[in-house]
Each structure stands twice: as structure tokens, then as C-alpha cells.
Amino acid sequence: MTKKAIIITVPVLVSLLLVYLFLPSDTKRIRKIIYDGRDAIVRKDLERVMAHVSYNYRDRYGFTYLSIKENLKSLFQRTESFEIEVDNLRVEVNDKKAEARFLIKVKALETAGEVFLLGSEDVYESVFISLEKERLKWLVTETYFPTREGIAF
């Protein structure tokens, strides 16, 4: 190899290596969305929560983007604080679709006292979240709670 070819090839290879090492994978991006969504709910930041939800959201329970937004708005108004535990997060990515599966407990402090919205003191609730890549950004398109239908995670 000539000296000129080496001078050109080495920076290109180093650049590709740096992009590979420092550009987050889709799995890491989706994990970040899950944890950012959790933090946004704890802070009662409705806009930040909804930034992760697709306008095309529709689930088997009849919820859409707008109904989720209205329900969260109402919940945030009547709730003083939230405690959310996420455990055993797994992500599978297939091209422009992905699924995140995890266990969750959501405890809310309301004027009537502490209430578990998902799970209980001893038991986590299973959650499956479907995501699609829309304009280079992963957005939630459906949420499913299999433990409510007797399916173990």
C-alpha cells in the first residue's frame, strides 16, 4: 500500500470506529425512552411524556394519543407524586419496529393515601410496549398489559 493510500484509509477507518462506538444503538435509544418516560411521569411533565408517544397510538384497550394525554392530565392534577420501579427491561428491534418488555410498579400518592396504579407492594405488572421509528425517532404506538389477561411475562 502506498503512503497516500494509508494516509486516506486510516482516518476513514478511525472515523467509522468512532461512529460505531459512540453512536447509540436503537436498543439504547429505546431504553432511554422508557426511563425518560418514567422520569417525566414522576415529574408530572405531560409534554415530555407525550413526546415519546406517536400520534398514531392506538391500543387494544381503546386508548389513542388524545385519550392518553387527557387521562394523564387528569391523573397529574389529582396526584401529588409518583414512585415508579422498572425492572427486567428487554428490547427487541426489527428494522423500523421494536418491542420493549419490562416489569413495573407504579405507586401514586393521592389525597386519600397511597395507591398502586400498576402492580402491588409485592408484585410487578408486565408491560409490553410497541414502538415504530417515525422520522428517525422511536415513538410508542401501543401498550399491552399481559398479566391482566393471565399471561405470565
Buried b (16+ CB within 10 A) or exposed e, 93-113: beeeebbbbbbbbbbbeeeee
- The model carries a pTM of 0.80
Largest CA distance in the chain: 77
Contact, 80 vs 109, CB < 8 A?
Answer: yes
CA triplet 145, 148, 73: central angle to 5 degrees? 55
pLDDT in tens, 27-76: 999 999 999 999 999 999 999 999 999 999 999 999 999 999 999 999 99
- Strand, coil or helix: 117: strand
Q: Residue 138: its pLDDT value, please?
A: 95
Q: Considering only CA atoms, which of 129, 142, 118 is closest in space to residue 59?
A: 142
pLDDT in tens, 64-97: 999 999 999 999 999 999 999 999 999 999 989 9
Does 20 score more than 80 pLDDT?
no
Q: Residue 12: its pLDDT value, please?
A: 65
Look at 19-23, 43-47, 95-99, 105-109 and tell me which has the smallest mean pLDDT.
19-23
Mean pLDDT for all residues in the chain: 87
Q: Residue 94: its pLDDT value, please?
A: 92
Contact, 139 vs 132, CB < 8 A?
Answer: yes
Which is higher by pLDDT, 54 or 109? 54
